[in-house]
Amino acid sequence: MEPFTRLDAKSAPLPLANIDTDQIIPKQFLKTVEREGLAKGLFYDLRFDEQGREKPDFVLNRPEYKGAGVLVTGDNFGCGSSREHAPWALMDFGVRAVISTSFADIFYNNCFQNGLLPVVLKAEEVAQLMDEARGGNHVVSIDLETQRVTSPSGKVFAFEIDPQRKQKMLLGLDAIGETLGKTTYIDSYETRRALAQPWLERA
């Protein structure tokens, strides 16, 4: 998992509440063999019309938001199913952080498995960021170490995050990363086993 320390990126306003995982990534995209490549299905029904053409007025299709790394969204983002394809699709599209007043539980957890930072701010702060994202300058700055979001105009908002999760995010540790932190234990286990049960070591 990529560590998340500080991000300066364009923010895109998505002022809708209750965006569920089916909207984030519809089920026809779940048969893929890759985690990568899911960007094509991200917000599929919002981004494309029935003929598969881009809807020009959807925020992520507009030229000024190309390459947006931060979404500023309405309440309860990521509700619905537990599919990990939702954070996978967001990450694949280039989104590294989502700012909202609240997130659905499972989605919130899944974000931390994948290095996507969900930032919870107060309603008026989210509204402020939404407004500024609609303006001419879209670049926000998120500093995980100091737990601060700086708006395009320079307003600073503090956010809360579980200290253990923050630590893992800063170091880029997922469950695998954590276990790999114990590699010396695994190494010495393997050494002992190779001596005691040499037949398990195939030539």
Partner 1 sequence: MRRMSGKTLYDKIWDAHVVDVTDGEAILYIDLHLIHEVTTPQAFAGLRANRRAVRRPDRTLAVADHNVPTEGQALGVDAVADLEARLQLQTLTKNVADFGIEYFPMGDIRNGIVHVVGPEQGRTQPGMTIVCGDSHTSTHGAFGALAQGIGTSEVEHVLATQTLRQKKSKNFRVNIEGEPAPGVGAKDFALAVIGEIGTAGGTGSVIEYAGSSVRALSMEGRMTLCNLTIEAGARAGLVAPDETTFDYLMGRPAGPKGGGWDMALSYWKTLFTDDDAVFDREIHLDAATIAPLVTWGTSPEDVVAVTGKAPDPADFDAPEKQAAIARALDYMGLTPGQPMTEAKVDVVFIGSCTNSRIEDLRTAAAIVQTAFLNGRLVAPHVRAMVVPGSGLVSHQAEEEGLDAIFKAAGFEWREPGCSMCLGMNPDRLTPGQRCASTSNRNFEGRQGRGGRTHLMSPAMAAAAAIAGHIADVRDFL
Q: Which residues bind partner 1 (CB under 8 A)?
A: 1-2, 31-36, 84, 113, 175-177, 179-180, 182-183, 185-186, 189-190, 193, 197-200, 202
Q: Which is nearer to partner 1, 52 or 199 (CB)?
A: 199
Q: Which is nearer to partner 1, 163 or 198 (CB)?
A: 198
**Shortest distance, CB of residue 73 to partner 1, whole angstroms?**
25
Task: Find the shortest distance in angstroms from Cβ 172 to partner 1.
Answer: 8
Question: Rounded to whole angstroms, how far apart are CA atoms 149 and 142?
Answer: 5
Tell me the C-alpha distance between 64 and 136, whole Å: 9
Residue 93: CB minimum distance to partner 1, A: 15
Nearer CB in complex with partner 1: 153/185: 185
Min separation Cβ 52 and partner 1, Å:
18
Contacts of 54 (CB under 8 A, 6+ apart): 47, 48, 61
Nearer to partner 1, 145 or 190 (CB): 190
Residue 59 or 91: the one with the smaller Cβ distance to partner 1 is 91
Q: What is the DSSP letter of 201?
A: S
Side chain identity at 198, as an amino acid letter? P
Min dist. Cβ of residue 191 to partner 1 (A) = 12
Q: What is the DSSP string of 80-125?
A: S---THHHHHHHHHT--EEEES-B-HHHHHHHHHHT-EEEE--HHH
d(C-alpha 123, C-alpha 128), whole Å? 9
Whichever of 154 and 163 has its CB closer to partner 1, that residue is: 163
Tokens of 101: 């007043």
Kindly give, in sequence order, each residue whose CB lies less than 8 Å from that of residue 189, ignoring residues fewer than 6 positions away.
none
Residue with tokens 């019309």: 49
Shortest distance (Å) from residue 90 CB to partner 1 = 14
